[in-house]
Chains A and B, each alone.
Chain A
């Protein structure tokens, strides 16, 4: 595979991802707080709440909401 092919694959992945099971936007919002707290507690959030991480791959807006909540809660925890 050439470097060009590799770049094209990455772009194609971004366009067509995710491939496996994923939750919907509404379900993602419903689970978001639990997902973040599990992750920050060191638990396997992806095992507990399957389909959330996959949704982040396909939905930038939900991924941004997740990153913001994770960072805000982590900042609170650090005091």
Chain B
């Protein structure tokens, strides 16, 4: 398994021996680095294929060859990300766990976007309620309810147009955030910040109507 003679070189207190072996080998030169890089790519591909396997049911319309291509591309991108971020590894977990998350992220993003490739994402709704996707469980549960009316009023009155678009897409229509970030040419983090701010505003509005507690807890009052 791990080359302990390498692992013992310059080990940091928080890094276990095997993780230190990975760091040292990937920072070395020549065949040692090449072999470590090849092993790391195998791990990335294993993780990417694992993610493909989890999502295969939702991607039954996509050919197996294409899914394998997606897994390989995710593994390649994850390998580059890990190699460029070795200095960020602090030993809070084992190196392999840390590296896995890059492959799972890359594969997850690619697969979500592939699943929505042919689907339209409405970004400029004139009326969020009429454009809300009624097939989603969230919308179905709120339909014909007093809550929907109150929420619609709050969405229309309290949110900025950008917050309204993001909230309707992500929270109400359940568009994957990676899909929306691609369509709106922004990042997952920026979109989530907008969603977070929108939710906070809506909670304040609904608290004033008695639908949620003022501190934000969503236990509707029973009168």
Pairwise interchain contact A9-B219, C-beta atoms closer than 8 A: yes
Pairwise interchain contact B220-A1, C-beta atoms closer than 8 A: yes
User: Taking the complex as formed, is B100 at the interface, i.e. its CB lies under 8 A from any CB of chain A?
Assistant: yes
Residues 92-129 (chain B) with a chain A CB within 8 angstroms = 92-94, 96-98, 100-101, 104-105, 108, 112
Bound Cα distance A14, B141 (Å): 11
User: Taking the complex as formed, is A16 at the interface, i.e. its CB lies under 8 A from any CB of chain B?
Assistant: yes
Q: How far is the CB of A63 from chain B (nearest CB, A)?
A: 11
User: Taking the complex as formed, is A13 at the interface, i.e. its CB lies under 8 A from any CB of chain B?
Assistant: yes
Chain B contact residues: helix, strand, loop or mixed: helix
User: Taking the complex as formed, is B215 at the interface, i.e. its CB lies under 8 A from any CB of chain A?
Assistant: yes
Query: Among the listed stretches B27-35, B158-166, B194-202, which one makes contact with chain A, having 4 or more residues with CB under 8 Å of it?
Result: B194-202
Pairwise interchain contact B189-A25, C-beta atoms closer than 8 A: yes
Asked, given contacts A11-B141, A17-B218, A37-B97, whether A69 binds B212 with beta carbons under 8 Å apart, the answer is no
Q: How far is the CB of B172 from chain A (nearest CB, A)?
A: 7
How big is the A interface, by class? 35 or more
Bound Cα distance A30, B195 (Å): 20
In-complex Cβ contact of B97 among A5, A14, A25, A33 (8 A): A33
Q: What 0/1 pattern do residues 41 to 77 of A give for CB contact below 8 A with B?
A: 0000000000000000011110011001101110110
Asked, given contacts A9-B219, A12-B147, A60-B176, whether A29 binds B105 with beta carbons under 8 Å apart, the answer is yes
Pairwise interchain contact B217-A60, C-beta atoms closer than 8 A: no
Pairwise interchain contact B93-A33, C-beta atoms closer than 8 A: yes
Pairwise interchain contact B98-A9, C-beta atoms closer than 8 A: no
Which residues of B sit under 8 angstroms from A37, Cβ to Cβ?
Answer: 92-94, 97
Asked, given contacts A11-B141, A11-B142, A33-B93, whether A5 binds B104 with beta carbons under 8 Å apart, the answer is no
Chain A contact residues: helix, strand, loop or mixed: helix
Pairwise interchain contact A15-B97, C-beta atoms closer than 8 A: no
Residues 179-223 (chain B) with a chain A CB within 8 angstroms = 188-189, 192-193, 195-196, 199, 202-203, 206, 211-212, 215-220, 222
Q: How far is the CB of B63 from chain A (nearest CB, A)?
A: 22
In-complex Cβ contact of B220 among A8, A17, A68, A76 (8 A): A8
Pairwise interchain contact B195-A16, C-beta atoms closer than 8 A: no
Pairwise interchain contact A65-B108, C-beta atoms closer than 8 A: yes
Residues 1-33 (chain A) with a chain B CB within 8 angstroms = 1, 4-5, 7-17, 19-20, 22, 24-26, 29, 31-33
Name A's B-contacting residues (CB within 8 A): 1, 4-5, 7-17, 19-20, 22, 24-26, 29, 31-34, 36-37, 58-61, 64-65, 68-69, 71-73, 75-76
Query: What are 8 contact pairs spanning A and B, CB under 8 A?
Result: A16-B202, A17-B218, A19-B215, A37-B92, A61-B188, A65-B105, A69-B101, A76-B96
Name B's A-contacting residues (CB within 8 A): 47, 50-51, 54, 92-94, 96-98, 100-101, 104-105, 108, 112, 138, 141-142, 145-147, 151, 171-172, 174, 176-178, 188-189, 192-193, 195-196, 199, 202-203, 206, 211-212, 215-220, 222
